[in-house]
């Protein structure tokens, strides 16, 4: 779906001025909301901050690193896709604090041959994601449009906390590990997008391929569940952006925990991916345990707290013993730091029967 702008079809950003580009961008963006005191057009936006505090996060998507214009499977990333993904990953960070997203500022770095329509589609995709992902109090309040050789977008999102913000480090007493959202689907979708044709993915049903690609291109974090989990008593939370094992390890290290994942609880996620995995020759457990970019919410609840609808228990957490604290845990673990994450009581390598890449590091050598 595209969104009409006032310039002739095919016009590129190099052919018009900044003012005209803003005129293509702003009318299709959601720029009003309950927290917008001053919207786009001044040197700063002014955003309401109930409770005299604001949560704040920023994320960048860069062409070639975080997405491709044209994928090996032939799919071409649309402006709407990128607007959605840009919103989704930032909204998930706000939700992971137990907070409600209130405002977004976005900076676009655009090659001169970028169609103006692409920029309008980005604004529409970003704004529609607010609605689709349940961030109904959120609005675009400002940004920066600039030129560059490489397409890149950076969004910064603010949010309001109802109670205390939920950190990664608050689960010192242990508890139940719960997850809301999907696991492994964005990683499977990445494999599908990266697959050429003819190739193993041709054996996967077209509708399933499309759904998995969409999981990678337009992830759907359960944004409203962030505050729900906070109210349910979550003592630690983050969004799973770099893979379950790696992100569970982050909570474990920050809170001083041993986390044991329950494979039986993860089995439904694996079963849902078994068909495409078998056809494509992939291991669905690898997708579920190490795949990033689903942006689901991973939280620790007190053992006696009911798990709210939309989340499910996937493991248990106990305070790390001094010995446990000295075990290594994946690429970020170092001797003497970080307690471990296990699967049914075994290291992930033992459980898999082989070494696994535990998740995504933007700078891994």
As measured in angstroms, the least distance from the Cβ of 103 to a second copy is 7
Contact 320, 339 (CB under 8 A): yes
CB nearer to a second copy: pick between 86 and 232: 86
CA dist 110 and 78 (Å) reads 14
Contact 153, 61 (CB under 8 A): yes
Answer yes or no whether residue 358 interacts with a second copy by CB under 8 A: no
Strands (E), 195-286: 236-240, 257-261
Residues of span 67-106 touching a second copy by CB under 8 A: 92-94, 96-97, 99, 103, 105-106
Per the annotation, binding residues for ATP are: 143-144, 168, 241
Contact 142, 122 (CB under 8 A): no
Binding characters for a second copy, 327-346, by CB under 8 A (x = yes): ----xx--------------
In this chain, which stretch among 36-44, 74-82, 183-191, 345-353 interacts with a second copy, using CB under 8 A? 36-44
CB nearer to a second copy: pick between 276 and 359: 359
According to DSSP, residue 71 is labeled: -
Using a 10 angstrom Cβ sphere, with 0-12 exposed, 13-18 middle and 19 or more buried, the burial of residue 342 is: buried
Answer yes or no whether residue 6 interacts with a second copy by CB under 8 A: no
Query: Site for a second copy (CB under 8 A): which residue of 28, 88, 124, 161?
Result: 161
- Torsion from C-alpha of 107, 113, 119, 121, nearest 10 degrees: -140
In this chain, which stretch among 123-131, 149-157, 205-213, 256-264 interacts with a second copy, using CB under 8 A? 149-157
CA dist 236 and 255 (Å) reads 8
CA dist 201 and 220 (Å) reads 23
Per the annotation, binding residues for substrate are: 66, 293, 360
CA dist 239 and 234 (Å) reads 13
CB nearer to a second copy: pick between 64 and 306: 64
As measured in angstroms, the least distance from the Cβ of 179 to a second copy is 15
CA dist 173 and 195 (Å) reads 44
In this chain, which stretch among 136-144, 194-202, 267-275, 302-310 interacts with a second copy, using CB under 8 A? 136-144
Residues of span 39-68 touching a second copy by CB under 8 A: 41-60, 62-66
Answer yes or no whether residue 37 interacts with a second copy by CB under 8 A: yes
């Amino acid at each position: 779906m595209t969104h009409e702008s006032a310039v002739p079809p095919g016009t590129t950003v190099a052919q018009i001025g900044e003012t005209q580009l803003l005129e293509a961008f702003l009318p299709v963006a959601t720029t009003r909301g309950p927290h917008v005191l001053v919207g786009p057009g001044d040197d700063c936006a002014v955003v309401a901050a109930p409770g005299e505090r604001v949560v704040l996060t920023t994320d960048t998507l860069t062409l070639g690193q975080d997405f491709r214009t044209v994928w090996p499977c032939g799919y071409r990333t649309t402006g709407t896709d990128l607007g959605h993904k840009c919103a989704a990953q930032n909204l998930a960070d706000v939700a992971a604090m137990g907070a409600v997203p209130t405002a977004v500022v976005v900076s676009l770095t655009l090659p001169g041959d970028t169609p103006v329509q692409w920029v309008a589609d980005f604004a529409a995709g970003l704004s529609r994601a607010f609605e689709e992902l349940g961030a109904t109090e959120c609005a675009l309040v400002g940004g920066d449009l600039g030129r560059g050789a490489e397409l890149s977008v950076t969004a910064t999102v603010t949010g309001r906390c109802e109670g205390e913000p939920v950190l990664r480090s608050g689960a010192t007493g242990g508890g139940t590990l719960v997850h809301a959202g999907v696991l492994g689907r964005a990683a499977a979708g990445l494999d599908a997008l990266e697959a050429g044709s003819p190739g193993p993915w041709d054996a996967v049903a077209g509708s399933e391929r499309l759904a998995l690609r969409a999981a990678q291109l337009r992830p759907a974090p359960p944004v409203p569940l962030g505050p729900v989990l906070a109210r349910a008593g979550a003592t630690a939370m983050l969004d799973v952006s770099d893979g379950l094992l790696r992100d569970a390890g982050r909570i474990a290290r920050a809170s001083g925990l041993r986390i044991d994942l329950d494979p039986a609880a993860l089995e439904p996620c694996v079963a849902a991916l078994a068909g495409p995995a078998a056809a494509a020759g992939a291991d669905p457990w690898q997708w579920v345990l190490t795949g990033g970019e689903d942006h689901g919410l991973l939280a620790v609840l007190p053992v006696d707290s009911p798990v709210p609808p939309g989340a499910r228990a996937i493991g248990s957490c106990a305070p790390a013993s001094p010995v446990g604290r000295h075990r290594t845990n994946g690429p970020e673990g170092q001797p003497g730091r970080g307690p471990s994450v296990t699967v049914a009581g075994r290291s992930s390598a033992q459980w898999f029967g082989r070494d696994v890449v535990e998740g995504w590091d933007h700078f891994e050598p």
